[in-house]
Amino acid sequence: MNNFYASVELLEHPELLDVPVVICGNPENRHGIVLAKNQPAKKMGIVTAETLWQARKKCPGLVTLPPHMGKYKWFSKQINDIYSRYTDMVEPFSIDESWLDVTHSKDLFGSGTQIADEIRETVKESLGLTLSVGVSFNKIFAKMGSEYKKPDATVLISRENFKDVLWPLDISEMFFVGDASTKTLREHNINTIGDLAKSDRSFLIDLLGRSGQMLYDYANGLDDSPVLRFSEREKIKSVGHGMTFRRNLISSNDIMVGVTGLSERVAFRLRKYELKASGVKVEIKGTDLRSISRQKQLSKFTDLSEEIKTAALELIKSSWPAGKPIRLLSVTAINLHDSSDEEEQLDFLSVDDGSRSKLRNIERTVDHIRARYGSGSIQTGRLLNNDLGMDIDDD
Catalytic positions are: 97
Sign, CA torsion 155/158/160/163: positive
Q: Phi/psi at 195 (nearest 5 deg)?
A: -60, -40
> In whole angstroms, how far apart are CA 96 and each of 4, 36, 80, 102, 271?
7, 12, 9, 19, 25
Cis peptide before 66 (omega within 30 of 0): no
Instruction: Report which secondary-structure segment, H or E, holds 148.
Output: helix 139-148
- Within 13 Å and on the Cβ side, how many CA atoms surround 299? 8
Check: CB of residue 91 under 8 Å from CB of residue 143. no
Q: What is the DSSP string of 188-225?
A: TT--BHHHHHHS-HHHHHHHHTHHHHHHHHHHTT---P
- How far is Cα 364 from Cα 261, in angstroms, rounded to an integer? 16
Residue 378 DSSP symbol: S
> In whole angstroms, how far apart are CA 289 and each of 54, 256, 283, 325, 328?
18, 21, 12, 11, 9
Of 364, 374, 289, 283, whose CA–CA distance to 329 is shortest?
283
> In whole angstroms, how far apart are CA 335 and each of 85, 237, 275, 280, 340?
35, 7, 10, 8, 15
Of 190, 195, 316, whose CA–CA distance to 257 is shortest?
316
Indicate the pairing of strand 133-136 with strand 275-285: unpaired
- Within 13 Å and on the Cβ side, how many CA atoms surround 348? 0
Check: CB of residue 331 under 8 Å from CB of residue 284. no
Identity of the amino acid at 178: G
Q: Phi/psi at 283 (nearest 5 deg)?
A: -120, 135
